[in-house]
Structures are given as structure tokens and as C-alpha cells.
């Protein structure tokens, strides 16, 4: 994807990284030296109504380092969100990326923490305002450290500006310190995807294969798993089928043994297998809670425990596919939301535990919103599917449901070396649903 992009504070440390990233991707880049009201108003008077238009706005903080006074960073982000709406109003859509410095780990700059929290809420509120105004705004945040790898910053900017993030709105990624790689190629990587027989799991396996990965296709329905493996190979990858019921610890041990014998190491584990039961609490039983907890939480723990020795050999990554239901409760979600929230907490706990290792394994949660597939539609029935979509889409700032392919593209980024410093994070691919639901 390319077009016209505006970068606020293009000569600052983060602004310069954004300019370099976009220029390399073929964007026409225009800079606003300080993003003041006067600059924005002058730019608007020239841009609105012209055929060229603006497709992408990136706001960067004015300083080259995090500072203790949050005022300038907050004001820059706020004005970017404010002026994005009239710029995008004519076409009804646009992309806004708000860049900022992440809080210091030791709390040395409380003002930096203040800026990060303020930007988080103001951009979320502006996203809701955009939806009310009929603008489909892909507004996301990228927090960086001063010593984050320049190449990693640039690749993240490109990801937020291209089709990989087309169902991300209200999402946030923080790049940690250090790191040297910025490649999204998965050549030479061995990755296990559970629940890879349909939906998000199948699309993820195919996308990982397209990028060069060797994919272990995990699932209980072996004929469907074989279909997925065929699709992986047609996309350019390779792999094997791994019979796997994620609720059976012995099945995980056997899967680890088979992958270890075939590949020697595992570079990525995508815990995608899961189930949903949404009904009022009075209609749910303890057996329902136990069923969802077993597959959505314990199944993840069994997998991480079994695969950790293989993942540790090359400093691999775990990506747990949870749900925005684990972030924002809604009616009927007491058991399902509880099980997905447990997955999110488990991810953070494992990330902190593994961070102390000599070869850390990084762990993140990815939270989809309503992702439409044939299996989802079939499970709801024709009438139920229509009613469910009609209820969810108006609550989603992007005004639509997502597709498995849109989640798969973000999975591929997060398991790549470009995201090597991303760990312990909860990242949404939801169209912003969690902001408007229930």
C-alpha cells in the first residue's frame, strides 16, 4: 500500500524513522515541522477538496528522547487525532499512527508514563468520535524506546500503514530496547499452529508458509489438517501434520518429541485452538466453565510447558490467540471471557518468567474481535449469523467484521524477527470492537 503520508515532527528521532520507513515503501511523504494548530490549518486549507488527498498520518513526539514533561507529546498526539477527521472525512477512511516513547522501566520519568497513558485514552476516544462522524479510522499506537532498533521501528511503521493492519484499530505495540533484526521473512523458522484445521488457524498456517516457514499443522481432525498442509505447501512452505488435542498433556509431549526429531528446535508456537460458549450466567453450568477453562487456558499451559525446551534453543516465541472478550466483558460472557482473560494473564506471567532466562522466550497475546468464517456462520445458523453481525458491526469502529486472513497477517509479523523485542503484550486485531462493546 502507498499514497500520501504526513509525518508530524519529521526531523525528530521517531519522526525520522517514520519518514525513512514510508519513503522506502513508496509513500509520498510530507512533513509538518511542529504540528501546531496553525500548521495543521494551513495544511487543511490546501489538502481538503484536492484529488490527491492524504492516506496516512504519523505523529511523532517533538523530542529525541523521552522527557519528564508530558505536555508537548500529549498536544502533538491530540492535534494529530483532531485534524485527522477533517482530512479523512471526504473519503470516509484513513490511517493514523501515533508514535511515542514508552515509559521508563525504572519509573525515572513519571511524565513519560503520564504521556503514554494520556495518549492511550485520547486516541481511543478520538477513534470513537471518528466512528460517530462516519470515518473508518485505523488509529493505532506505536511506543518505542530510545534504543529500539531503527530497522524494527521502521518495519512496525510500515506494518501499521499497509494491509497487514487493515483490521487493527485502537491497537498498541511497544518495541523494547535493543534488537538488531527487522526482517519479516520466516525462512528457516519452524512454527507450530494449533487448531489449524479451519478459520484463523488455517489462515495463519498458510500465511506463515507463504513467508517461508516450516509449519507443524496441529489439530484433532486429521483430514482437515492434511488439507491445511497442502495449502501451506501450495503457498511456498512445508511442514507436517501433528495430531494434537490441546487438552491432553500426553499429546503435547508426543508433539514435542515429533517436532524435535524433525527439526531440532521450535521457533514459534501459535496457540490458536479454542472454544466459545456465550450464554447468560443462569444458563451456564460449572461443566461449561470447566470445558472452556480446560481448552482456552490449561491447553495453553500444557503447550508452553511441553514446547519450552524446544523454544529455548533459539529464543523462540509464543503467541496466544485469545479474544477481545478477555479484555472487555459483555453479556453472556462470564465463562468464555473468564477463560480468555486467564489466557491473557497466563501470557503475561510466562513472559515475565521467561524474560529472566539466558535465551528468553517471548510471549504475547493476540486478541481478535469478531472474525467471520464459514465455521462461525455455520455454528450460528443463517438467521443467528445475520442477527449477530447486525449487533456487532455498529459497535465496531471500523464498521465491519474481520477475516481470518487479517488476523493471520498480524500473527506472521509478531512471530518474525521484526518483533523480536515485543513481549508480555496484549495486542488487538478487532476493528476497535473492545472500545464500543457492549
Closest listed residue to residue 192, CA positions, set 232, 156, 223, 165? 232
Which residues, in sequence order, are CB contacts of 136 under 8 Å at separation 6+? 92, 93, 94, 130, 397, 398, 399
Kindly state the percentage of the chain with pLDDT values over 70.
99
Which residues, in sequence order, are CB contacts of 191 under 8 Å at separation 6+? 208, 213, 214, 215, 216, 266, 267, 268, 269, 270, 415
* C-alpha cell of residue 246: 490441546
Per-residue pLDDT tens over the stretch 143-177: 999 999 999 999 999 999 999 999 999 999 999 99
Would you place residue 286 in the very low, low, confident or very high pLDDT band (cuts 50, 70, 90)? very high
Residue 438: asked if its preceding bond is cis (omega within 30°), the reply is yes
Half-sphere exposure of 30 (CA within 13 A, CB side): 18
Least trusted range by pLDDT, from 78-92, 104-118, 306-320, 410-424:
104-118
Reduced to 3 states (helix: H, G, I; strand: E, B; else coil), residue 143 is strand
Question: Look-up: residue for cell 528468553?
Answer: 360
* C-alpha cell of residue 143: 511506543
Q: Residue 423 — φ and ψ, nearest 5°? A: -155, 150
Closest listed residue to residue 318, CA positions, set 364, 382, 369, 376? 364
Reply yes or no on whether the pLDDT at 1 is more than 80.
no
In contact, 55 and 94? CB cutoff 8 Å: yes
Determine the pLDDT at residue 384: 82
Reply yes or no on whether the pLDDT at 332 is more than 90.
yes
In contact, 207 and 411? CB cutoff 8 Å: yes
Mean pLDDT taken over the chain: 95
Would you place residue 50 in the very low, low, confident or very high pLDDT band (cuts 50, 70, 90)? low
Would you place residue 49 in the very low, low, confident or very high pLDDT band (cuts 50, 70, 90)? low
Would you place residue 186 in the very low, low, confident or very high pLDDT band (cuts 50, 70, 90)? very high
Q: What is the pTM of this model?
A: 0.97
What is the per-residue DSSP string for 235-249?
Answer: HT-EEEEEE--TT-H
Would you place residue 52 in the very low, low, confident or very high pLDDT band (cuts 50, 70, 90)? low
Per-residue pLDDT tens over the stretch 230-283: 999 999 999 999 999 999 999 999 999 999 999 999 999 999 999 999 899 999
**Residue 438 vs residue 188, higher pLDDT:** 188
Read off the pLDDT of each residue in 34-57 and give the average, rounded to a whole number. 87
CB burial readout 94-105, b (16+ within 10 A) else e: bbbbbbbbbbbe
Catalytic residue at 336? yes
Alpha-carbon distance of 221 to 206, in angstroms, equals 17
Question: Look-up: residue for cell 531440532?
Answer: 264
Given the residues 83, 143, 302, 336, select the one marked as catalytic. 336
Report the Cα 216 to chain-centroid distance in Å.
Answer: 22
* C-alpha cell of residue 114: 503520564
Reply yes or no on whether the pLDDT at 348 is more than 80.
yes
Alpha-carbon distance of 108 to 223, in angstroms, equals 56
Alpha-carbon distance of 30 to 115, in angstroms, equals 25
Alpha-carbon distance of 270 to 200, in angstroms, equals 11
Domains of the chain listed by start with CATH number: 4-174 (3.40.50.720), 190-436 (3.40.50.720)
Which residues, in sequence order, are CB contacts of 219 under 8 Å at separation 6+? 194, 195, 196, 197, 201, 225, 228, 241, 242, 243, 244, 273
Reply yes or no on whether the pLDDT at 51 is more than 60.
no
Per-residue pLDDT tens over the stretch 358-416: 889 999 999 999 999 877 787 778 888 788 899 999 999 999 999 999 999 999 999 99
Read off the pLDDT of each residue in 81-98 and give the average, rounded to a whole number. 96
In contact, 299 and 271? CB cutoff 8 Å: yes
Least trusted range by pLDDT, from 47-61, 117-131, 193-207, 320-334:
47-61
Kindly state the percentage of the chain with pLDDT values over 90.
88
In contact, 401 and 392? CB cutoff 8 Å: yes
Amino acid at each position: 500500500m502507498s499514497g500520501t503520508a504526513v509525518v508530524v515532527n519529521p526531523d525528530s528521532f521517531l519522526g525520522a524513522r517514520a519518514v525513512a520507513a514510508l519513503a522506502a515503501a513508496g509513500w509520498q511523504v510530507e512533513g509538518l515541522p511542529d504540528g501546531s494548530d496553525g500548521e495543521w490549518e494551513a495544511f487543511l486549507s490546501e489538502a481538503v477538496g484536492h484529488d490527491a488527498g492524504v492516506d496516512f498520518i504519523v505523529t511523532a513526539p517533538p523530542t529525541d528522547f523521552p522527557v519528564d514533561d508530558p505536555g508537548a507529546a500529549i498536544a502533538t498526539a491530540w492535534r494529530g487525532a483532531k485534524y485527522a477527521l477533517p482530512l479523512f472525512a471526504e473519503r470516509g477512511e484513513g490511517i493514523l499512527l501515533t508514535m511515542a516513547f514508552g515509559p521508563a522501566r525504572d519509573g525515572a520519568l513519571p511524565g513519560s508514563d503520564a504521556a503514554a497513558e494520556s495518549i492511550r485514552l485520547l486516541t481511543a476516544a478520538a477513534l470513537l468520535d471518528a466512528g460517530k462522524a462516519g470515518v473508518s479510522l485505523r488509529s493505532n499506537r506505536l511506543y518505542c524506546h530510545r534504543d529500539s532498533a531503527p530497522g524494527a521501528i521502521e518495519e512496525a511503521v510500515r506494518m501499521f500503514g499497509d494491509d497487514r493492519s487493515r483490521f487493527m484499530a485502537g491497537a498498541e505495540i511497544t518495541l523494547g530496547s535493543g534488537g538488531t533484526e527487522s526482517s519479516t521473512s520466516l525462512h528457516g523458522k519452524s512454527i507450530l499452529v494449533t487448531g489449524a484445521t479451519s478459520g484463523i488457524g488455517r489462515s495463519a498456517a498458510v500465511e506463515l508458509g507463504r513467508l517461508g516457514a516450516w509449519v507443524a499443522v496441529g489439530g484433532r481432525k486429521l483430514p482437515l489438517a492434511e488439507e491445511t498442509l497442502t495449502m501451506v505447501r501450495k503457498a511456498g512452505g512445508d511442514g507436517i501434520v501433528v495430531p494434537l488435542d490441546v487438552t491432553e498433556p500426553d499429546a503435547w509431549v508426543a508433539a514435542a518429541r515429533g517436532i524435535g526429531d524433525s527439526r531440532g528446535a521450535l521457533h514459534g508456537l501459535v496457540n490458536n485452538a479454542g472454544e466459545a460458549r456465550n450464554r447468560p450466567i443462569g444458563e451456564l453450568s460449572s461443566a461449561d466453565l470447566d470445558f472452556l477453562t480446560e481448552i482456552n487456558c490449561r491447553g495453553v499451559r500444557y503447550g508452553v510447558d511441553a514446547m519450552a525446551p524446544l523454544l529455548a534453543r533459539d529464543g523462540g516465541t509464543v503467541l496466544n490467540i485469545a479474544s477481545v472478550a478477555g479484555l472487555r466483558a459483555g453479556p453472556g460472557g462470564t465463562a468464555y471471557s473468564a477463560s480468555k482473560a486467564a489466557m491473557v494473564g497466563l501470557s503475561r506471567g510466562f513472559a515475565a518468567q521467561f524474560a529472566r532466562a539466558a535465551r528468553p522466550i517471548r510471549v504475547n497475546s493476540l486478541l481478535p474481535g469478531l472474525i467471520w468464517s464459514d465455521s462461525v456462520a455455520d455454528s450460528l445458523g443463517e438467521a443467528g449469523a445475520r442477527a449477530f453481525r447486525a449487533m456487532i458491526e455498529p459497535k465496531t469502529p471500523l464498521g465491519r467484521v474481520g477475516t481470518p486472513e487479517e488476523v493471520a497477517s498480524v500473527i506472521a509479523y509478531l512471530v518474525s524477527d521484526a518483533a523480536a523485542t515485543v513481549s508480555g503484550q496484549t495486542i488487538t486485531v478487532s476493528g476497535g470492537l473492545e472500545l464500543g462493546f457492549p
